[in-house]
Amino acid sequence: MTDVQQTATGAGARPVDPIAQAVQPRRRRRPRTRNLWANVVPSVVILAIVIAVWEVLVRSLEVRPQVLPPPSRVLEQGWAQRSTILEHAGATLQVTITGFAVSLVVAWIIAVSIDFSPVLRRGVMPLLVASQTIPIIAIAPLMIIWFGFGLLPKMLVVALVTFFPIVVGLVEGFNKTDREVTNLLRSMGGGRVKEFLFVRLPSALPTFFTALRIAITYAVTGAIFAEYVGAQQGLGIYMSVQKNAFRTDLVLAAVLVTAVLSICLYLLTFAIERLVIPWSFKERKARSAK
């Protein structure tokens, strides 16, 4: 940003706050790759150690693969079954995405309505909290009784486990707007709708993306859980079947794929956040550089 400031003062404009500018710290640009490495390397090292210990112990103690296969066998067998596993993963991804989409739409509708109506807020919020006390483990089989083995009951399970953090994130985000900003907007002639569009909505977006990240990690496990109870396809039912066949190695291979899927979706939220609210990224980066 220093180059912008130089052109500004150099263009013959009124010299702007020489004092304040001198005091402003120069922002160092750290190479992004180094940053990434610093974040990723420690966890990769720990993971590698755990896997190595696992491999060595299982082999030296001659544990039966039905009980605990060595990581190498998990990879090997998983690779051999890759087309089947990928097919199931595709089904799980579909459930996750559609269920999450439903969850997003519902969460936004509820959160915006709550923001506009204090009565609704008092009425709906306790019910939402109550909805989170329902044990999914009990409700998922019922969903299948009610809605069959198709997509719908699984979407509903995913939506049920993910919409709550999104609603809470949005409602709290909307409420971050302080009284003075409201007064400013009102003095400009804005009513409640304009206040929402000009202030409450944009200021809620960073909180929304944080909530989105929490929710998306629940989404994949939610989908797998729903499939586990009963499905025609999906990683959940695949794990269930392989477990019954004592193919522990393939269960673990499916677990690995699940983890990869979750992490990819999690990382995707950062990419979307960056596209939707680039200002938030820039601001955070500037702050951390100070």
Binding site for another protein (CB under 8 A): 1, 4-5, 7-9, 11, 13-17, 19-21, 23-24, 180-181, 183-190, 194, 198-199, 202-203, 205, 277, 279-280, 282-283, 286-287
Nearer to another protein, 12 or 118 (CB): 12
Nearer to another protein, 122 or 186 (CB): 186
Instruction: Give the shortest CB-34-to-another protein separation in angstroms.
Output: 24
Nearer to another protein, 134 or 283 (CB): 283
Instruction: Give the shortest CB-176-to-another protein separation in angstroms.
Output: 12
Nearer to another protein, 62 or 180 (CB): 180
Instruction: Give the shortest CB-47-to-another protein separation in angstroms.
Output: 37
**Distance from C-alpha of 160 to C-alpha of 102, rounded to nearest angstrom:** 10
Number of CB atoms found within 10 A of residue 59's CB: 12
Nearer to another protein, 98 or 210 (CB): 210
Nearer to another protein, 64 or 285 (CB): 285
Let me know: does 65 contact 248? Beta carbons within 8 Å. yes
User: In 3D, which of 116, 87, 234, 253 has the Cα closest to residue 174?
Assistant: 116
